[in-house]
Amino acid sequence: GILLCGEPGTGKTLLAKAVAGEAGVNFLSISASQFVEMYVGVGASRVRGLYEEAKENAPSVVFIDELDAVGRTRGIVRGSGGQERDATVNQLLTCLDGFDGKGDVITIAATNRPDVLDPALVRPGRFDRKISIPKPSFEGRIEILKLHAQKKPMADDVDYEVISSLTEGMAGADLANIFDVAALNIIRDGRSEITTDDLVDAINSDEIGLQLELKRSMDFLRKLALNEAAPVVVSLNFIDSKDVQMVSIAPKGARLQGATRVRIDSGKFILPSISRQTMLDHITVQLAPRAADEIWNGPDQFCTIWADTFQNARLAARELVFAGLSDKKELYGLYDCLYELDRINEVDAEALRILNICYERAKK
């Protein structure tokens, strides 16, 4: 058997169908949740029926989606529900052993929780071939975008590289949804083609939410505009964050304040490889709203609109100290600081020093 592991929407089911299609064999698909019922014995009966049908239509591929719904470690769940689940797993193990080596029926399963599966399911001879299905890369997203674009009325000048750069971390299903949202938007506006801006708006509405109509005072809007503009102005001085894509003070989804999107090189912002200078630049940008508030309104008129970004800066400063990237170069992360008061004070003092330096840097 083959076990496909990956987050939801990465194309595990599609890959299993492609395997069957390329091999020219029959494809039988079922969700593991369909095996389990309240009556003991129903799940095992359905497993037997599935494999009997697969044998009758051999050569064939059996695909079991969401295997963790039934294949969790046996003995954990008590009562009749646990007995039904255990009996289903036992029957699945029997079928896997029964068809092993005959070559006429191949089983492919998919899960996003391989860590909870029963050890007997993943031992050699059963689901021993584990294939990780990651989210698509930059180039992979471009190809997926172009594939979905074939089914939609697209403008000739759509920039798929820009869209790919804005969809870092999205799975194939997320990319498909972007086109559906964009298509609905152009229908609502009475237009016939999807443009790059339509796709960008679809990404924003998917990640941030739809725009809300809220009445807010002019004083609050001024403070909000300052809060969103300040980090943009500061980030323009840093090469890793100067490509600003969007700034908005319109309330969207759960974000009742504003939103800013900056195009970054994701490779530089992976935590294990992030550089000291990149972290210092990030802290400086996060402190920019407070610095702008002080410069624009004065220290006596501070407000708390920048509290979230200030918290981000504080956490980043502590992370920098723990990693040994501060001027002290001491690896505080080697110590169990949670139980050593002196170490906690040292970390906080060094983090505060870094925050003060970056704050003055942001004010300049």
Task: Tell which of 132, 164, 199 closes a domain.
Answer: 132
- For residue 198, the enclosing domain spans 138-207
58 domain-assigned: yes
User: Which of 48, 59, 55 is closest to 24 using CA atoms?
Assistant: 59
Q: Which residues partner with 248 through β-bridges?
A: 259
What's the token pair of residue 128?
């021993």
User: Which of 17, 93, 124 is closest to 61 using CA atoms?
Assistant: 17
Contact 285, 312 (CB under 8 A): no
213 domain-assigned: no
Any catalytic annotation for residue 228?
yes
Question: Who contacts 32 (Cβ-Cβ below 8 Å, separation ≥6)?
Answer: 64, 65, 66, 67, 68, 69, 70, 71, 109
257 domain-assigned: yes
CATH number at residue 42: 3.40.50.300
Q: pLDDT value at position 68?
A: 87
User: Which of 34, 111, 119, 6 is closest to 68 using CA atoms?
Assistant: 111
185 domain-assigned: yes
Can you tell me the distance from the alpha carbon of 321 to that of 184, in angstroms, rounded to the nearest whole number? 48
Q: How many CA atoms lie within 13 A of 14 on its CB side?
A: 10
What's the token pair of residue 171?
């799975």
Radius of gyration of the chain (CA): 27
Looking at the fold, whether 222 and 353 belong to one and the same domain comes out as yes
Q: Which residues partner with 64 through β-bridges?
A: 30, 109
Q: pLDDT value at position 215?
A: 75
93 domain-assigned: yes
Collapse the DSSP code of 304 into the 3-class scheme (helix H, G, I; strand E, B; otherwise coil) and give the result. Answer: coil
Looking at the fold, whether 127 and 150 belong to one and the same domain comes out as no
User: Which of 225, 223, 218 is closest to 302 using CA atoms?
Assistant: 223
Task: Tell which of 153, 176, 207 closes a domain.
Answer: 207
Can you tell me the distance from the alpha carbon of 130 to that of 4, in angstroms, rounded to the nearest whole number? 6
212 domain-assigned: no
| Amino acid in the structure at residue 251 | P
Task: Tell which of 74, 97, 132 closes a domain.
Answer: 132
Give Cα separations from 271 to 103, 268, 336 (angstroms). 45, 8, 20
Looking at the fold, whether 179 and 258 belong to one and the same domain comes out as no
Looking at the fold, whether 237 and 169 belong to one and the same domain comes out as no
- DSSP-derived letter for residue 215 is -
Looking at the fold, whether 39 and 126 belong to one and the same domain comes out as yes
CATH number at residue 284: 1.20.58.760
Sheet with strand 26-31: strands edge to edge: 26-31, 60-65, 105-111, 2-5, 129-132
Looking at the fold, whether 356 and 223 belong to one and the same domain comes out as yes
289 domain-assigned: yes
Q: pLDDT value at position 167?
A: 87
CATH number at residue 164: 1.10.8.60
Looking at the fold, whether 189 and 288 belong to one and the same domain comes out as no
Looking at the fold, whether 114 and 236 belong to one and the same domain comes out as no
pTM above 0.75, yes or no: no
Can you tell me the distance from the alpha carbon of 88 to that of 46, in angstroms, rounded to the nearest whole number? 9
> Which of 7, 22, 168, 228 is an active site residue?
228
Looking at the fold, whether 43 and 119 belong to one and the same domain comes out as yes
DSSP H or E stretch at residue 288:
helix 276-297
Largest separation between any pair of C-alpha atoms in the chain: 81
Q: How many domains does the chain have?
A: 3
Looking at the fold, whether 243 and 341 belong to one and the same domain comes out as yes
Q: Decide: residue 338, CB within 10 A, 0-12 exposed, 13-18 middle, 19+ buried.
A: exposed
183 domain-assigned: yes
Q: pLDDT (tens digit, 0 to 9) for every residue of the chain, 364 residues total?
A: 889 998 888 888 888 888 888 888 898 988 888 877 655 667 888 888 888 898 888 888 899 998 888 877 766 655 555 577 778 888 888 888 765 445 588 899 999 888 888 888 888 888 888 999 999 988 999 999 999 999 899 999 899 998 998 888 888 889 999 999 999 999 999 999 999 999 988 888 877 666 667 677 788 788 888 888 888 888 888 877 767 777 777 766 666 677 777 766 666 655 556 788 888 988 999 899 889 888 888 877 778 777 888 888 999 898 888 877 777 766 655 555 555 666 677 888 888 999 999 999 998 8
What's the token pair of residue 198?
């339509």
Can you tell me the distance from the alpha carbon of 266 to that of 305, in angstroms, rounded to the nearest whole number? 28
User: Which of 102, 68, 116, 107 is closest to 88 using CA atoms?
Assistant: 68
Looking at the fold, whether 11 and 117 belong to one and the same domain comes out as yes
Q: Which long-range contacts (CB under 8 A, 24 or more apart) does 133-136 make?
A: 133/4, 133/5, 133/6, 133/10, 133/11, 133/12, 133/15, 134/6, 134/10, 135/6, 135/7, 135/10, 135/169, 135/170, 135/171, 136/10, 136/170, 136/171, 136/172, 136/175
Collapse the DSSP code of 18 into the 3-class scheme (helix H, G, I; strand E, B; otherwise coil) and give the result. Answer: helix
Looking at the fold, whether 291 and 344 belong to one and the same domain comes out as yes
